[in-house]
Amino acid sequence: MSGYDEAYRRSTRHPEEFWAEAARGIDWDVAPATVLGQDGRWFPDGRLNTCHNALDRHVAAGRGGQLALIHDSPVTGGGRVLSYAELLDEVARTAGMLRDLGVGAGDTVVIYMPMVPEAVIAMLACARLGAVHSVVFGGFAARELAVRVDHARPKVVLSASCGIEPSRVVAYKPLLDAALEQAAHRPERCVILRRPQCPAELTEGRDLDWAATVRDAAPAPCVSVAATDPLYVLYTSGTTGSPKGVLRDNGGHAVALHWSMAHVYGAAPGEVFWAASDVGWVVGHSYIVYAPLLAGCTTVLYEGKPVGTPDPGAYWRVVATYGVRTLFTAPTAIRAIKKEDPSGEFAKKWDLSGLRHLFLAGERLDPDTYHWAADLLGVPVVDHWWQTETGWPIAANCVGIETLPARPGSPTKPVPGWDVHVLDAAGNDCPPGVEGSVTVKLPLPPGALPTLYRDEARFRASYLERHPGHYLTGDGGHFDADGYLYVMGRIDDVINVAGHRLSTGSMEEVLAGHPDVAECAVIGVADEVKGQVPVGFAVLKSGCDRDPEELERELVALVRERIGPVAAFRRAVVVARLPKTRSGKILRGTMRDIADDRPYATPSTIEDPTTLPEIAEAMKRA
C-alpha cells in the first residue's frame, strides 16, 4: 500500500491514534489525555499557547536569528524583515500594550489592517494573551466592518491610517470612524498605526497612536489556554447578508496546521514559504501567519498585486529574491499574470530554480491555467481545495506524503483526516462520475470549525442538518473511478470573485434597498480573469421610469458603498421580469446556466417560460 493510501486509511479508521501522533509536533503546557472528546472537539483537556508554538519555542530552540517574516511592499517601495527573535519581541510588547488596555483571555479584538507586519504582530499578540482576534479584510466598506464589530463586540480595535492599492491610497481611518458610528457596540480603545503615506487624526479619548503605545509597553508572557478555547473568529460570506463568524480553536488548529506544512505542502523548517493572499482571508490566517511560523519557516507578507506592481513579473521577483520554495496563490492571480505576459517573458528574467511547488486554491483551477503555470515554471502545480470553515485543505496532492500523478481539473484526493463523500439528494453516495453534494463525514479533523461564533444554531442549520452525520461543504462535485475528487462549484448563492468569497444574497439586499427597485437577482457569471463576477438584474417599481444607465451607476455605487470595492460589482441591468417558479422563487440556477452558456432545461415549476428568452436577451446586453 502506498504512502498516501496508508496515511489516509489510518486517519479515517483510527483518527485518535493518527492525531495523537500529530499532536506531538506541538508544545503543550498540559498534554491532552483525551484526543477526541464526546462532543467532537479535539484535545479537550490539553492546554497550550499558539503564540508560544509559533515563536517562543523556535527562539528557545536556537532559531532566533532566522528570518521569521519578510515584508515585501512594492506599493510603498519598502518593506522590512524580522527574525524570530525580533518578531517575538514586537509581539510580546504589542501583547503588553493590549494587556495594559484591559484585554485578557477570551476578550475579542478586531483587526482592520493592510498587509503590514503589524497586522501579523497584532494577531500573534492576541494569541499570546488568549484573546480572540477577528481580522476584517481592508476591501470591505464601513457597513461591513460595522456588522462585524457589532457581532464580535471587541474591547479594542487595531487599525492603520491607510492601505495602499496600486491606483490609490485607501484611507482606513475614515472607514473605521464611519463603521464605529454605524455600529451599536463601542470598543473601549482604537490603536492606530500611522503610516507615512497618509496621516490620521486621532479621536480624543478613544484612539491611541500605535508606535507610542507599544513603545511604552512591557512585554507580556504567553497565557496558557484550553485547546478548545477560541483563537480567532473570521467572518465569511454565507447565503444571506449576515456573515458567518467561523470560530477556530487553539489546539486542533495548531496540530492540524503544523501537520499540514510537512505533509500537505512538504515544507521543512527554515524554508521560505509564501502565501500570496491577504491576512483578511483564511489563506492569510493559516498560511501567511500561523502554519509557516508553527513549522519554523520564513513567511512572506506581500503588499502588492500579481500585476501592475509594477509588472507581471512581481511574483517571480519575490520568489527569486527571497528563495521561496513554496508559492501558494489563487488561480485568478495566475490568470492575471498570463493575460499580461502570455509567453512568460517576465518569468524568464528571474532565477526561479529554488521554487519547488506552486499551490493554488480559492476557486476551481481550470485546466488551461494549470497547464500554463506548469509549463512556465517546470515544477508541480498543486490544485487544492478548502474553505474558510475548514481552515486547511480538504483535498490536495499531499506532496509531503507521496506525490500522486496530477489530473488537471481535480484537486487530487481527500487529505488524511477528511472523510469526503459525494451524496445525492437522499443522502446516498453517488457512484463515480455522478455529481452530487460534497460532504465530510463527521468527526471533522482538528483545525476545522467547531461552531459559528455565538451562533451554534446557525452552525447546525448551515452545515449539519442537510445530511445528518456529515458536514455540508456547499460545493458540488464528483469522484472519478480512481478516487480523484472534482469540485465543480458552489451549490448555494455564494460566488467566488478573484478568489474572494462573496454572497450574492448580500448584494441583492443592497439592490433591493434602492427606492426604485421592486425586486432583483444577483448571479455570478464567468469572467476570464476573476473566475466569476456578479451581475445584477433589477425590476423597477411600477410607474417608475428611469434611465437604465443612470440607475446602473447608482446601483454600482450603492454596492461599493455598502459592501466595498472588493465585490467588483460593475453591471446591473434593468429587466421587465425575472424568471420565477409558480411559488415565486427566482430561478437563479437557470439564470446562471443561461449566463454561462450552459444547456438548460425549462423547469417544470416555472411560472412563465417566456421570461427565460427575455432574461437571455438582457444578459447579452450585460
CA atoms of 603 and 609, how far apart (whole Å)? 8
Q: Is 170 in the site for ligand COA (CB under 6 A)?
A: yes
- Which residues make beta-bridge pairs with 423? 429, 437
The minimum distance between CB 388 and ligand AMP, in angstroms, equals 3
Contact range with ligand COA by CB under 6 A, out of 151-159, 389-397, 494-502, 538-546: 494-502
Total site size for ligand COA, rule CB under 6 A: 27
Residue 576 is classified by DSSP as: S
Distance, CA of 530 to CA of 527 (rounded, Å): 5
Strands 413-414 and 419-423, how do they pair? unpaired
The secondary structure element, H or E, covering residue 165 is strand 162-165
Are β-strands 357-360 and 381-383 bridged in parallel, bridged antiparallel, or unpaired? parallel
Pairing mode of beta strands 436-441, 419-423: antiparallel
163 binds ligand COA (CB under 6 A): yes
* 208 forms part of the interface with ligand COA (CB under 6 A): no
Question: Rounded CA gap, 227 and 42, in Å?
Answer: 8
C-beta of 123: minimal distance to ligand AMP in Å? 18
The verdict on 333 binding ligand COA (CB under 6 A) reads yes
Which amino acid is located at 82 in the chain?
L
Q: Which stretch binds ligand COA (CB under 6 A): 326-334, 394-402, 437-445, 446-454?
A: 326-334
573, 611 contact by CB (below 8 A): no
Min dist CB 493 to ligand AMP, Å, is 12
The answer to whether residue 165 forms part of the interface with ligand COA (CB under 6 A) is yes
Cα dihedral 485/489/490/491 (nearest 10): -80
575 CB contacts (<8 Å, ≥6 apart)?
A: 537, 538, 539, 614, 615, 618
365 binds, among ligand AMP, ligand COA, none (CB under 5 to 8 A by kind): ligand AMP
Closer residue to ligand COA, CB minimum distance, 87 or 275? 275
Cβ proximity to ligand AMP: between 210 and 328 the closer is 328
Answer yes or no whether residue 142 interacts with ligand COA by CB under 6 A: no
Residue 234 or residue 283: which is nearer to ligand COA going by CB? 283
Nearest of 115, 113, 139 to residue 560 by alpha carbon:
139
Minimum Å gap between C-beta 366 and ligand AMP is 10
Nearest CA among 256, 248, 288 for reference residue 272: 288
165 binds, among ligand COA, ligand AMP, none (CB under 5 to 8 A by kind): ligand COA
Contact partner at residue 363 from ligand AMP, ligand COA, none, CB < 5 to 8 Å by partner kind? ligand AMP
Element (H, E) at 535: strand 531-540
Figure out which of the listed residues 147, 566, 573, 587 binds ligand COA, where binding follows CB under 6 A: 566
Tell me how far, at minimum, the Cβ of 548 lies from ligand COA, in Å.
Answer: 21
Tell me if 171 contacts ligand COA by CB under 6 A.
no
Residues that bind ligand AMP (CB under 6 A): 236, 282, 361-365, 383-388, 411, 473-475, 487, 490, 496, 501
Establish if 283 lies at the interface with ligand COA (CB under 6 A). yes
CB of 141 to ligand AMP, least distance (A): 18
Residue 447, binding choice from ligand COA, ligand AMP, none, Cβ under 5 to 8 Å by partner class = none
Binding of ligand COA at residue 277 (CB under 6 A)? yes
Hunting for cell 493590549 — which residue is that?
Answer: 98
Q: How far is the CB of 248 from ligand COA (least distance, A)?
A: 17
Which of 238, 499, 534, 579 lies at the binding interface for ligand COA (CB under 6 A)? Answer: 499
Burial class, 147, CB count within 10 angstroms (exposed 0-12 / middle 13-18 / buried 19+): buried
Residue indicated by cell numbers 482606513: 172
Site for ligand COA in 404-433 (CB under 6 A): none
Q: 413 is in the binding site of which of ligand COA, ligand AMP, none (Cβ under 5 to 8 A by kind)?
A: none
Which of the stretches 328-336, 380-388, 444-452, 574-582 binds ligand COA when contact is defined by CB under 6 A? Answer: 328-336
Instruction: Establish if 507 lies at the interface with ligand COA (CB under 6 A).
Output: no
392 binds ligand COA (CB under 6 A): no
Helix H or strand E encompassing 329: strand 324-329
501 binds, among ligand COA, ligand AMP, none (CB under 5 to 8 A by kind): ligand AMP
CB < 8 Å & 24+ apart, contacts of 463-471: 463/389, 466/437, 467/423, 467/427, 467/437, 467/439, 468/427, 469/441, 469/442, 470/421, 470/423, 470/427, 470/439, 470/440, 470/441, 470/442, 471/439, 471/440, 471/441, 471/442, 471/444
Question: Taking CB under 6 A as the rule, does residue 154 contact ligand COA?
Answer: no
Interface with ligand COA (CB under 6 A): 138-139, 163, 165, 170, 276-278, 281, 283, 305-307, 329-330, 332-333, 336, 361-362, 498-500, 529, 565-566, 568
